[in-house]
Structure 1
Amino acid sequence: MFGILKKIFEKAPPENEKLPYYDIVCPYCFAKFHHEDVVFRATHHRDDDEAYALQEDEKLNIYRGKFDLAPIDELEAVIDLSSIPEENKIYSGRVIVGLSDKYSEVTKNRLCPECHNDLPITAGKYPSNIISIVGATAVGKSVYITSLIHILQHVTANNFDAACIPLDNGISRRFRQEYEAPLFENNHLLQATAITKRQEPLIFQFVFKDENRSPLTLVFFDVAGDGMTSKEYIKKQAGHIKNSAGILFLVDPMQIRTIREKLLHQLGDNPGDITNTADEPREIVLALYDEFIAHQENSKTDIPTAIVLTKSDLLNALKSDDGEYIRTNSNVFNNVVHREFLNLDEFENINGEMKRFLSKVDIPFVNAIDVYFRETSYFAVSALGSNPIEQQVSGIISPIRVDEPFIWLLYKLGVIEGRHE
């Protein structure tokens, strides 16, 4: 009887206490922190109050200096939450999103406490999803990122009843001017990322039209391939890799020594722009292991990792009816469009075929992946549809299966379903 009465009169928790909240991973410096550790930028300044006067933001300028960006002389003050009474804090669900300062001015401009960059509006309400793209130099990371985001915006989002939107106008302009227009309008190949210059991340929101489905904040981070076997360089990049929701591990067929000479022979006198010999894929695995995988439980990472063979159009030079390497009717050469869900039949076909192919041509790499990564799948993509010649792409750019590894990551994150036809 007492138990029944207790249930009747026990006060139910407020609705907002039932709502989830998440630790925030800054999409700029990759620091991880609780949502109540954020700071805010004031919306006004005052000459008669030193705390609210225009001032240099040292943390922000240190961050900008890493990217060769000019320092900003003066900005509105940064407000620490410790100076704000609880009744002046503004929440959305259980996540703090704004405050009313001591002059009753409201600001909702949340900043990372470490680098003072603006945080996405969804930070804390939904998981942060950093997609790290790794691989050796000249594997085609910048070209793949460009092709992937282009397809996400123009094809994939619509197929999943969503929109893929840049975080702000600055990122929109930078992607358009430095990535999309040179490649898709001028057919000009992008230059490899320089090791001497850290790239700012490209941040997009993948927002479903169904309001009951959580949006994703996607942070695509392109690191220089030249640095991926440098202990000092990768140490700087490990922050974003170990806080990733997923990894796209790119492998160039021209960096696989067992088939490189055969490909060169089959491609003839005019092979187009091909990768010079570089670090083998296994060297990248070992570098990742040394820096962060070795410190994980059982020395393995749980981060879902897509092993992506790039420039799959080159495999036309290896195809044959007997399938010594690749069969003439291989899935690799067929573009597949996934709509509303991951087509598990198509996924299992390409995963099985590419793992068998890589096991045949580079078994040390596949073995290393099996040892250090718990959750992997294998894919083949062509970001352009053909091999460029003298940094120019001839004809219309026709990407093949570029979004499939990304869609698989959405499936592994529980964002979309996977179904057999």
Structure 2
Amino acid sequence: MAFAHKLSLGVINCLNGEFKQASSSPFVIGSGSDSDLVIQDDSVLDQHCLIEKTKKGIQIRSIQAEHPDGSLILDGKPTTLAPIKARTEHSLQIGRSFLILVTTLTSKKENLQRWGMDIGNGGWIINKSNKAAATRPLDILEVFSARDTMGLDPNSTPVFKGNSQVGFYLTQLMALEPEKEHSSDDNISDSDEEPVAERVGEVSESSPSMTRFIDADSGEFTCPTCWLKFDRGDVMHVAVHDSLFGDPLLGEEQMQRFHASRFNDRGQALDEYGIPCTEIACPHCRRTLPPGFFDEPHKIFSIVGAPQSGKSYYLTVVIKLLQTTLFRKFGVVFRDADPAGNAPINEMKSHLFSAQTSSQAYLTKTQLEGAMYERLPRYDRMVTLPKPFIFSLSGSESDEENCSVVFYDNAGEHFQPGQDSTNSPGAQHIAASDAIFFLFDPTINPDFRRSLADSDDPQFKSQVSDQQDVILAETEVRIKKLLGLSRREKIDIPLSIIVGKCDSWIHKINEDKLRDPIVDGTLDMGAIEDNSALVRELMEEYCPYIIANAERISSDVCYFAASAFGHTPITFEDEKGVTRIGPDPQKIDPMYAEIPTLWALSRVRPGLVPSFQ
């Protein structure tokens, strides 16, 4: 009898990687040769349990429930009979064996096999407070070592295998822990200690297993690429010698990453061939860290917005303006901290401000898998992460307030519901942010469009669905989920609501009422607040739900008018004859675009951008 119409069962043995697929009921698991899945485990009965279809649905039950060893543990709970949810992963322990099972609608055998391989070939990932604490797979002995090092509670700490979405409690896995041998001090000799050194020496980076356990939830530093934490001593170094091409996680074209054990007189790490290494890398994602990473704190500034809201143009213009405004008005040098890593955004800046025609100035939409992203390991998975663009800020008075700011050019789709998961974490930097900027596009909002029906701006005629309120609500959900906050709790980091393309609507609040917020090298907070009140009043008239969502997220919200172009864009045909909308490069004159960033800097680095009330 089939489990259900087009329904298949997949089971993977977490300890030896054996995978079984079935479409008929019942499916028997046991140590006997006549079982459908045979487990070589003397703590498992010959026919231990079965998965079957009944009138009430699919269930798993113990075949010998009365036997002292006949019970099972499903999803961390002892049972002898339990329902199995369709299209949902379940963890199953019988004896000292650990299985993951799933029922799925897939009709292709290779899809379930790939699912099983992703779990079976992966390591064990400690998940602390519903969030993984190890970035690369641990073998089972390293799990026990991490338990002791981190002081984990075995009864409440789940551990996940590979790509599985369900795990086992650490106390369950302790059934696999070898018994510790106790010997007296008199029996300890030099020969007893030698094998330990040999085992350490045998650890190879070619193995997917970690050579060093690093808690991703704690540490002095946060990686600007994967947003996981580590301490100075955890950093990896990038090999230099030509024969050391090929990192086991990054691929053959990347130089090996390694934890250094030898250094020269200058304190530089030496690779296997004694060559000094000048580059360091994150121990989690292994991406190179920018020069001088340890010299100053890094502040993450996250720009959030809908697809086609103009985030790429806005970010490009802001970076251009900050170079000038910070130096002229505040005596702060805003410089490129990572020329190689910042190449994409610098190219966009050159593209936009050196153009002679709209076609030349046009910036293509950021794609989910495009040039602004790269594939890197994170939590035992190869995932797509946005490239960080890092700039250093240094003042003339003191080095104490110096810092670097990190921007990202995410595709708008990454902020939509359903686009965030462990396998697709590309926008999770919002939970590690020091400031968040929500770019609201009035040209796609129906209420704004109706009020500006007579506008000659071609953006008001484009057919784009408005999901901006949904994206802002999703932003709240993600932040609070990743930070472990309740629905009523608010973050206290600055949140800028930027109502963009203000050249098309600024007349609605009378531009003459907007005050210049920069006065004698300081930020006039009175002017900022007055301007914010004007923009908020306009938003309350047309989009009150944006205000409601924003003020549920943060206790520090400010509203801004801004325009990256400062003029009405024009339509043109590209080289393929496709009609586009873009700026006239001869008329680019941004309006207030850098003010939200200056306000955020005054909050997180008041020594660089001082303010007065």
Distance 1:227 1:363 in 2: 24
Amino acid at match of 1:80: H
Alignment correspondent of 2:556: 375
The corresponding residue for 2:491 is: 301
Q: Within the alignment, does 1:266 sit opposite 2:454 as a pair?
A: yes
Query: Residues 73-118 of structure 1, C-alpha deviation per residue, up to 9 Å, x if partnerless?
Result: 363x43314xx27xx4999xxxxx8435677654342111122222
Match status 1:401 vs 2:574: no
User: Which stretch shows the higher mean deviation, 103-112 or 245-254?
Assistant: 103-112
Higher strand share: 2
How far off its partner does 1:349 sit? 1.7
> 1:151–1:296: structure 2 CA closer, same or farther, 3 Å change rule?
same
Return closer, same or farther for 1:338/1:192 CA change in 2, 3 Å cut-off: farther
In structure 2, what is the Cα distance between the partners aligned to 1:90 and 1:250? Answer: 50
State how far apart, in whole Å, the 2-side matches of 1:214 and 1:120 are. Answer: 19
Q: CA offsets, 1:304-363, max 9 Å, x none? A: 2111111011114x53xxxxxx236331xx765566322223212211111121122111
Which has the higher mean CA deviation after the structures are superposed, 23-32 or 178-187? 178-187
Q: What secondary structure sits across from 1:285 in the alignment?
A: helix
* Residue number in structure 2 paired with 1:162: 332
1:83-98 pair list within 5 angstroms: 84=261, 88=263, 98=268
The 2-side partners of 1:338 and 1:402 are apart by 17
Separation in structure 1 between the aligned mates of residue 500 and residue 468 of structure 2, nearest angstrom = 12
Q: Identify the match of residue 343 of structure 1 among 506, 524, 548.
A: 524
Q: Please report how far the alpha carbon of residue 136 of structure 1 lies from its aligned counterpart in structure 2 after TM superposition.
A: 0.9
C-alpha distance in 2 between matches for 1:115 and 1:258:
44
1:413 aligns with 2:604: yes
C-alpha distance in 2 between matches for 1:348 and 1:158: 23
Q: Does the Cα contact within 8 Å between 2:300 and 2:406 map onto a contact in 1?
A: yes
1:160-208 CA deviation, whole Å, 9 max, x = no partner?
2222222233245433323432345345232221234335222221222
Change (3 A) 1:369 1:115: same
What is the letter of the counterpart of residue 220 of structure 1?
A: F
Q: Which position in structure 2 is the counterpart of 1:255?
A: 444
DSSP 3-state at the match of 1:259: helix
Deviation of the 1:365 alpha carbon:
1.5
The residue number in structure 2 matching 1:357 is 538
State which of 389, 394, 415 in structure 1 corresponds to 2:570.
Answer: 389
Give distance in 2, aligned partners of 1:161 and 1:343: 16
What is residue 245 of structure 1 aligned with on the other side? 434
1:99 — aligned with what?
Answer: 269
How many equivalent residue pairs? Answer: 362
Map of 1:209-288 to 2, 5 A cutoff? Answer: 209-233=396-420, 236-263=425-452, 265-267=453-455, 270-274=456-460, 276-288=463-475
Change (3 A) 1:328 1:236: closer
Matched, 1:190 2:360: no
Name which structure has the greater RCO, CA cutoff 8 Å, separation 6+.
1
Q: Name the residue aligned to 2:233.
A: 36
Q: Which runs of 4+ in 1 moved over 4 A?
A: 88-91, 100-105, 334-339
- 2:265 and 2:329 map into 1 onto residues whose CA distance is 36
2:476 aligns with one of 286, 289, 292: 289
AA in 1 matched with 2:597: F
Q: Normalising by the residue count of structure 1, what TM-score does the alignment of the two structures yield?
A: 0.77
Structure 2 CA distance for partners of 1:272 and 1:98, relative to 1, 3 Å: same
1:60-71 matches, cutoff 5 A: 60-61=250-251
CA contact (8 A) 1:98 1:110 kept: no
In the superposition, relative to structure 1, how do residues 215 and 130 fare at CA in structure 2: closer, same or farther (>3 Å)? same
Give the whole-Å Cα distance in 2 for the aligned partners of 1:218 and 1:191: 24
8 Å CA contact 1:238, 1:292 repeated in 2: no
Aligned to 2:302: 132
Counterpart mapping for 1:201-212 below 5 A = 201-212=388-399
Answer yes or no: is the 8 Å Cα contact 2:221–2:229 preserved in 1. Answer: yes
1:329 aligned counterpart, secondary structure: helix
Look up the SS of the partner of 1:278 in the other structure: coil
Q: Which position in structure 2 is the counterpart of 1:73? A: 253
CA apart distance, 1:139:
1.3
- Give the 3 Å change call, closer, same or farther, for CA 195–73 of structure 1 in structure 2: closer
Give the stretch that moved more between structures: 134-143 or 292-301: 292-301
- Identity percentage of aligned residues: 23
Q: Does 1:329 align with 2:512?
A: yes
- Matched-pair contact (CA < 8 Å) for 1:343–1:418: no
CA spacing shift, 1:221–1:338, aligned 2, 3 Å: farther
Alignment partner of 1:28: what SS?
A: coil
User: Of the two, which has the highest radius of gyration?
Assistant: 2
Letter of the structure 2 residue corresponding to residue 362 of structure 1: C
Give TM-score scaled by structure 2 length. 0.54
Are the equivalent residues in 1 in contact too, given 2:495–2:557 (CA < 8 A)?
yes
Provide closer, same or farther for how the CA distance between residues 98 and 301 of structure 1 changes in structure 2, counting only shifts above 3 A.
Answer: farther
- Assess, with a 3 A threshold, how the Cα gap between structure 1 residues 374 and 252 changes in structure 2: closer, same or farther: same
- Measured against aligned partners, the alpha-carbon deviations of 1:111-167 in whole angstroms (never above 9, x if no partner) come to 111222221234344322111100111211000001000111233234222222222
Supply the AA of the counterpart residue of 1:109.
Answer: E
Q: 1:28–1:201: 8 Å Cα contact kept in structure 2?
A: yes
Cα shift at 1:213: 3.4
For residues 19-51 of structure 1, the C-alpha deviation after alignment (integer angstroms, 9 at most, x for no partner) is xxx722222232222222111123446xxxxxx
- Does the residue aligned with 1:383 lie in a helix, a strand or coil? coil
Looking at secondary structure, tell me which structure has more helix per residue: 1
- CA distance in structure 1 between the partners assigned to 2:253 and 2:275 by the alignment: 23
Secondary structure of residue in 1 paired with 2:302: strand
Q: Which residue matches 1:143?
A: 313
SS of 1:150's partner is: helix
CA shift at 1:220, angstroms? Answer: 0.9
